[in-house]
């Protein structure tokens, strides 16, 4: 039984923590407009531009979430010497986030994902297309060495380290080897969210894949039944040997696999009518990691991150969750998610 007072105490320790985040930094751009007629040039709708927004995405979204939760965040990564990179730096600095470990590479393009949202003047805007501009090649050896050196220098002063791997070239094989060597020592809390390469990370404190990522890694599809979930989770656990594995399951909540063999599932917090899943995984790993760094058990960290994920998917676009929102959710007795223990691994 998890006591809510314990969760509140964990949240109140957030502000004393210092969390590092390493990974691919992306600019999430949203362009909004109204459609009212078809073009004469081609059978397409004409979008009349209304306004646009840009938010840090990828590892940048994890950093924004950590910042919103009240801790000190130290980003590590590589951006291009371009307008998109400058926008990200400006946004981080406006929030008081230290950007000294975001290295510039003149040969690299800062990743930018542009989402076009269209609709009528009095209707909700829907995403109609996404345009991705990105560098997929790995960072150079010299940049890689410099980045690892920066992490080594800061590591003694960090309470935890998040790895946010969007497969855009920053998380190189050498960097993965370094991360795995740190994980083997068990001196630092390390959590990983990876789009395609969970199988490369070994002995990590915790991995946080979604169902698709877990299934892709193991070749085992997760259905609505507990049996397929357990089979997939156990297989991924055997491949990676983490201390814990947190599989996020959308409307079905999330499931925690621990090294002691216990498997715990929790229902989704809030409404199951999800508004936008963009960046939800970044929010989950941020809250989960910060909770662990603040003394939470894996189950307590799961519950806190479940609240965070449930809150953020009800917001539009790349969003964050605050400590105040988490405290309000914990106080909401009627909305307490149900927890069930499945059979041992």
First to last CA, the chain: 20
Residue with tokens 């990200």: 88
SS3 331: helix
Alpha helices in 140-172 (DSSP H): 141-154
Q: What is the pLDDT of residue 271?
A: 67
CB neighbours of residue 253 within 10 Å: 22
Beta-carbon contacts of 229 under 8 Å, excluding residues fewer than 6 positions away, are: 222, 223, 247, 249, 255, 265, 342
What is the span of the domain harbouring residue 263?
Answer: 4-26+56-110+135-342
264 forms beta bridges with 256, 341
The total number of structural domains that make up the chain? 1
Q: What is the pLDDT of residue 121?
A: 74
Q: What is the pLDDT of residue 343?
A: 65
Indicate which residue of 28, 159, 243, 282 is catalytic.
282
Contact between 6 and 300 under an 8 Å Cβ cutoff? The reply is yes
Residue 31 domain-assigned (yes or no): no
Distance (Å, rounded) from C-alpha 146 to C-alpha 152? 10
Q: What is the pLDDT of residue 72?
A: 98
Tally of helices (H runs) and strands (E runs) in the chain: 10, 14
Q: What is the pLDDT of residue 337?
A: 79
Tokens of 230: 């357990």
Residue 146 domain-assigned (yes or no): yes
Q: What is the pLDDT of residue 123?
A: 80
- Cite the beta strand spans of the chain per DSSP E: 18-23, 25-38, 45-58, 72-80, 102-105, 111-119, 126-133, 160-165, 189-194, 206-207, 244-248, 254-258, 263-266, 339-342
Question: What is the chain's percent helix, strand, coil content, to nearest 5?
Answer: 40, 30, 35
Residue with tokens 């400006």: 90
Distance (Å, rounded) from C-alpha 12 to C-alpha 330? 13
Residue 21 domain-assigned (yes or no): yes
SS3 15: helix
Q: What is the pLDDT of residue 326?
A: 95
SS3 62: helix
Burial class (CB in 10 A: 0-12, 13-18, 19+), 57: buried
Distance (Å, rounded) from C-alpha 134 to C-alpha 29? 13
The pTM is what?
A: 0.94
Q: Report the residue count for the chain.
A: 345
Residue 210 domain-assigned (yes or no): yes
Q: What is the pLDDT of residue 25?
A: 98
| pLDDT per residue rounded down to tens, the chain (345 residues) | 678 899 999 999 999 999 999 999 999 999 999 988 899 999 998 999 999 999 999 999 999 999 999 999 999 999 999 999 999 999 999 999 999 999 999 999 999 999 999 987 778 889 999 999 998 899 999 999 999 999 999 999 999 999 999 999 999 999 999 999 999 999 999 999 999 999 999 999 999 999 999 999 999 999 989 999 999 999 999 999 999 999 999 889 999 999 999 999 999 998 665 555 666 899 999 999 999 999 999 999 999 999 999 999 888 777 899 999 999 999 876 567 778 887 665
Residue 208 domain-assigned (yes or no): yes
Q: What is the pLDDT of residue 273?
A: 58
Distance (Å, rounded) from C-alpha 289 to C-alpha 282? 11
Looking at residue 16, what DSSP letter applies? G
Residue 120 domain-assigned (yes or no): no
141 catalytic residue (yes or no)? no
Distance (Å, rounded) from C-alpha 240 to C-alpha 38? 52
- CATH value at residue 324: 3.40.1190.20
Residue 122 domain-assigned (yes or no): no
Question: Considering only CA atoms, which of 28, 83, 76 is closest in space to residue 52?
Answer: 28
Q: What is the pLDDT of residue 265?
A: 95
26 forms beta bridges with 57, 111
Residue 48 domain-assigned (yes or no): no
Q: What is the pLDDT of residue 334?
A: 58
Contact between 196 and 54 under an 8 Å Cβ cutoff? The reply is no
């Amino acid at each position: 039984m998890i006591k809510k007072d314990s969760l509140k105490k964990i949240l109140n320790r957030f502000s004393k923590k210092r969390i590092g985040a390493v990974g691919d930094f992306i600019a999430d751009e949203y362009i909004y407009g109204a459609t009212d007629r078809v073009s004469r040039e081609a059978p397409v709708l004409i979008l009349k531009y209304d306004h646009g927004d840009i938010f840090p995405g990828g590892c940048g979204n994890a950093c924004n979430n950590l910042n919103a939760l009240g801790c000190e965040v130290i980003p590590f990564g590589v951006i291009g010497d371009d307008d998109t990179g400058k926008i990200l730096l400006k946004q981080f600095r406006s929030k008081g986030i230290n950007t000294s470990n975001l290295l510039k590479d003149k040969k690299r393009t800062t990743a930018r994902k542009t989402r076009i949202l269209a609709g009528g003047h009095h209707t909700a805007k829907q995403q109609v297309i996404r345009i991705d501009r990105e560098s997929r090649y790995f960072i150079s050896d010299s940049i890689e060495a410099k980045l690892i050196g920066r992490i080594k220098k800061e590591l003694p002063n960090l309470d935890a380290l998040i790895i946010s791997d969007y497969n855009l070239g920053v998380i190189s094989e050498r960097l993965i080897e370094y991360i795995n060597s740190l994980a083997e020592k068990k001196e630092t809390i390390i959590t990983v969210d990876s789009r395609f390469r969970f199988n490369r990370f070994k002995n990590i404190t915790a991995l946080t894949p979604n169902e698709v990522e877990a299934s892709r890694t193991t070749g085992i599809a997760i259905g609505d039944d507990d049996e397929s979930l357990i089979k997939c989770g156990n297989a991924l656990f055997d491949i990676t040997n983490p201390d814990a594995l947190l599989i996020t399951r959308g409307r079905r909540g999330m499931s925690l696999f621990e090294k002691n063999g216990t498997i715990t599932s929790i229902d989704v917090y809030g409404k199951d009518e999800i508004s936008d899943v963009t960046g939800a995984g970044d929010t989950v790993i941020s809250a989960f990691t910060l909770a662990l760094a603040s003394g939470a058990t894996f189950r307590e960290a799961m519950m806190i991150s479940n609240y965070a994920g449930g809150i953020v998917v009800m917001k539009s676009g790349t969003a964050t969750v605050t400590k105040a929102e988490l405290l309000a959710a914990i106080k909401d007795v009627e909305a307490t998610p149900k927890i069930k223990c499945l059979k041992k691994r």
